[in-house]
Amino acid sequence: EIVLTQSPGTLSLSPGERATLSCRASQSVTSNYLVWYQQRPGQAPRLLIYDASNRATGIPDRFSGSGSGTDFTLTISRLEPEDFAVYFCQQYGSSPRTFGGGTKVEIK
């Protein structure tokens, strides 16, 4: 199975700063079938990015995804108060569909 390793585990930043989150796969992700989710406390995950770089409907353009093969990045250009949450990547090109362990973006 593909193991996804997210780093850092926690990112401490201030509103307005740029956040860069990494998701590294143990082997190449088929067709770059990778998504990013945001999860706020007590809520279900929310789809942000699909196919590594496509924003889901209604997602602000401060969120962007990039990468291919084994290295993927989620960038939040300017953090808004509502962006402080946990972010997960998931690959859906191979079975089982695995998730990364998550990156918590917290207020510094």
For another protein, the binding residues (CB under 8 A) are 30-31, 33, 35, 37, 44-47, 50, 56, 88, 90, 92-93, 95-102
Q: Which of 83/100 has CB closer to another protein?
A: 100
∠ CA 95-90-10, rounded to 5°: 140
Least Å distance, CB 78 to another protein, is 26
Task: Select 17 or 102, whichever has its Cβ closest to another protein.
Answer: 102
Question: Reduced to 3 states, what is the DSSP secondary structure of residue 31?
Answer: helix
Identify which of residues 24 and 92 has a Cβ nearer to another protein in the complex: 92
CA distance 58 to 49: 11
Residues 6+ apart with CB under 8 A from 60: 80
